[in-house]
Amino acid sequence: MSSRTREGVPRHEDPDVKKQLFLYNNFSATLWVVVLGNTIFLSLLLGQPFLFEKSRNILVGIQTLALYEIYNSYVGNVRSPVMTTLMQVSSRLLIVWGIFVVLPNSPANVHWAYITLNVAWSITEIVRYFYYAQVLVSNGEAPYVLTWLRYNLFFVLYPLGVGSELTIIYKSLDEAASQVGAWYKYFLIICMLTYIPGFPVLFGHMLKQRKKVMKALNGDSKKQK
């Protein structure tokens, strides 16, 4: 079918690589379902700071697992560009390790931005990982609904996620200076500045992917009619 996309498909049809990627994608998607459920449940019933205290460890763990994606991109196991993968994973590792672990008492961790961050990240990743898993088992074909969500939700979720990340970093600056040192505060400021060129690159990459996929997807829909 013309809606076939190569995103998430191994460069080499190695059955072991495909199996590893399939297991990783499904495992990651399941963990993100847990993150989303915890965020909704704990924020409504317990609120902050309990939400941060109860959800931080799994969030740090699942984001650290994403280093595996950089490896796969670098060695050519998948077709995702190394640079865009590195940029996205690095920015998230900065948040979970640079803020949530290094600065556990930052006011940002109990701010509403922590909730919107979890929502944006988890929905994005649930769709993305389940999409990748379906692409792997169907040789490039994923269900229409899943494909549509993958290439349309980012219009809302990417800005929401980036805005939440920047808010968390900004509200952690004073804590960084007092707990670690002035150098760390300025390091975080520099990291914030990298979002200026970084966001257009990542968003532009998704726009290009969306254009190709949606054109093929709509073409298939017309053929079926």
- Which residues are designated catalytic? 158, 165
Tell me the DSSP string of 4-16: ---TT-BSS--HH
Side chain identity at 159, as an amino acid letter? Answer: P
Q: How far apart are CA 98 and CA 92, in angstroms?
A: 9
Segments of the chain assigned E as strands: none
52 membership: H or E segment, kind and range: helix 50-65
Query: With the C-alpha atoms ordered 99, 104, 105, 109, is the resulting torsion angle positive or negative?
Result: positive
Q: How far apart are CA 113 and CA 162, in angstroms?
A: 10
Strand partners for 78: 10
Instruction: Give the closest residue to 56 by CA, choosing from 106, 94, 104.
Output: 104
CA triple 160-163-168, angle to 5 deg: 125
Coil, strand or helix at 155? helix
Write the CA distances from 24 to 62, 68, 217, integer angstroms: 11, 9, 26
